[in-house]
Chain A
Amino acid sequence: MAQIEEVNVDQFRHLVSERALTGETMLLNMGPQHPSTHGVLRVLLELDGETVINAIPDIGYLHTGIEKNMEAKTYLKAEVMTDRLDYMNPIGNNLAYAMAVEKLVDLDVPLRAQALRVILTELQRIASHLVWLGAFGLDLAAMSVFLYCFREREIILDIFEMCAGQRMMTTFVRPGGLWRDVPVEFEAAVRNFLKIFPKRVDEYEALMTKNPILMDRLVGIGKLDAATALSHGVTGPTLRASGVNWDLRKARPYMGYEQYDFNVPTRTEGDTFARYIVHIEEFRESMKIVEQALNKLPMGPVNSDNRKFVPPPRSEIGVSMEALIHHFKLWTEGFPAPKASVYSAVESPRGELGVYLEGDGGSKPHRVHMRTPSFDNLSVLDKITKGHLVADLVAILASIDIVLGDIDR
């Protein structure tokens, strides 16, 4: 049972201005249960009338100790925890973790698995941006966009269910490749999505982009300049909307991203509207990548044939003694990793998702740290909301695309 420490109110006094102590300004809790905080985020607001003077995010309500739990599991079993981090981007989290493990034990991934990983993570990026767009619309009272976005997201989740048997917590990307090959219906299903989705993006744009009510709420709100963004570690679409062309898929290509032709959408305004435009453009770029990857999807195995790290297929176990031994060793003890550390990062829908992985020579990680993008993106909230109205805070919070599972871990 945890012991409890005394807490004194004086240790929070520095967070608010002197005027709050005299009662001239109002302190107001927004959340933890509030529909526009996207989960369980509490923002302590200091208000002068409707104007925000201080916005102090309070996080940790969803802290589940994932990093601690991963230290007690083998490398393969720990991957199940990564799905639960950023629940809008499970396949991307699997990929980030699997890549870190592959770097630590120096494991190669076959070309087919690399291409399938790209297709799946880009589909996941579209699904994640769809939830973002839907929630963004909902927060700005555009209810119908939410329903349309979830209609399209359902198609992607059906594709994931077809591959992994699960809609969200897939654990499909494994160190050394994928859990299994995709079924034969996969290509037709993705092509069907690619056929209908461009028109749907145009529909969203027709509903939102030039809508004067929306423009009024977004243009010039929550301006974030590039220097502040970089100093606060902001990455992803939020950084690109501030005019910094930084995308890990282009800068440090992984999984064969260098062979696909796509643009990195950037805007220079850095306001909420710019962030909206960057997200919309990323739908189209992701579709381009999926189409190219699907057109030149190579045949072959989807798992590394290094049996010291990747379990053998079921068909081999009945006929090969070594396969049976490897199967037994890998599923009971796991594989050992060297006593060293690596850092590997991927571009998640929210920014740089980095994994710091340290082995201790045994089959369990010594330390796993997930550098989650939402955590750093949220830390800039106080700076960009000062002087805006409470209603604008809702729009800004929606536009920086936070996922509380990603922040609290």
Chain B
Amino acid sequence: MDKQLEPIVQDLQEKFGATLEEFRGEAHVFVKPEQIVDALTLLRDTYKFELLSALTATDYWPQSSPRFHVIYQMSSLAENVTVQIRVPVSGDQLKVPTVTRIYDVANWREREVSDMFGIEFEGHPDPRRILMPEDWKGHPLRKDYPLGYEEPQFTFNLEEIDLRKPYAKE
């Protein structure tokens, strides 16, 4: 971990009871969903993390608590350090407060996460789907969502597959 990052992580640990994991020099700080707004506000205002580089999630299905981690990758331009904030979300309580009031970029990124994973961001100003069509059901990047495929047709089973192939209907 970066030397400059140590006091920042310590502060997060004291204020939010955050836990720290390190891997290959990266610092991953775990906070609870209800603390995320305060944690990011602290990072932006006190420690000059101006850039929310990435906001994404990862699914640990079939594990249910926590089922998801929402990941906030933060960059400080002035100090040139990065820190990753991770928020564990349990499978029956799919709610995280929105951070759109802190970073504008979170608007689209949170829409993407809720589109792909079905995590609700409470207080989001524009909670529509962003990449999938508006009328889509399901959340494609969840682990229990199957990867779609098309059955390959050969001469011997061409007609048989043709019958059950989902063509656009009139």
A residues apposed to B, CB below 8 Å: 1-7, 11-12, 14-15, 59-60, 63, 65, 67-69, 71-72, 103-104, 106, 228, 230-233, 235, 244, 246, 251-252, 340-343, 345, 352, 354, 356, 358, 366-367, 369, 371, 375-376, 379-380, 408-409
Contact = CB atoms under 8 A, between A and B. Distances in A.
Interface string B118-135: 000000011011111111
B103 interface: yes
A15 B52 contact: no
Contacts of B38: none
Contacts of B147: 68-69, 71-72
Question: Considering residues B24, B128, B145, which has the most beta carbons from chain A within 10 angstroms of its beta carbon?
Answer: B24
Given A68-B145, A231-B104, 16 more contacts: A1-B166, A2-B137, A5-B136, A12-B128, A60-B130, A67-B116, A106-B24, A231-B50, A231-B103, A233-B105, A233-B109, A252-B80, A354-B73, A356-B54, A356-B56, A358-B58
B16 interface: no
B51 interface: yes
A268 to B, nearest CB: 16
A375 B129 CA distance: 15
Nearest to B127: A11
B141 to A, nearest CB: 6
Contact of B103 (A233, A345, A354, A356): A233
17 contacts: A2-B136, A3-B138, A4-B135, A4-B137, A5-B137, A14-B126, A60-B132, A67-B116, A67-B141, A71-B147, A230-B51, A233-B105, A244-B77, A354-B53, A371-B54, A371-B56, A379-B104
Contacts of B129: 60
A340 to B, nearest CB: 5
Interface of B: 23-24, 26, 28, 50-54, 56, 58-59, 71, 73, 77, 80, 82, 84, 103-105, 107-109, 112, 116, 125-126, 128-138, 140-141, 145, 147, 166
A157 B42 CA distance: 47
Main secondary structure of the interface of B (DSSP, over half): loop
B24 A103 contact: yes
A55 B53 CA distance: 24
A38 to B, nearest CB: 17
A343 B132 contact: no
A11 B127 CA distance: 9
Nearest to B102: A231
Nearest to A64: B131
B80 A356 contact: no
Contacts of B166: 1
B77 A246 contact: yes
The 7 closest A-B pairs by CB, nearest first: A233-B105, A371-B54, A60-B131, A3-B137, A369-B56, A367-B58, A231-B104
A232 B105 contact: yes
Nearest to A15: B126
A211 to B, nearest CB: 34
Contacts of A14: 125-126
A11 B73 contact: no
A340 B51 CA distance: 24
Contact of B24 (A15, A71, A342, A408): A342
B56 A375 contact: no
A356 B105 contact: no
A409 B58 CA distance: 17
Given A59-B130, A343-B84, A233 B77 contact: no
A2 B137 CA distance: 7
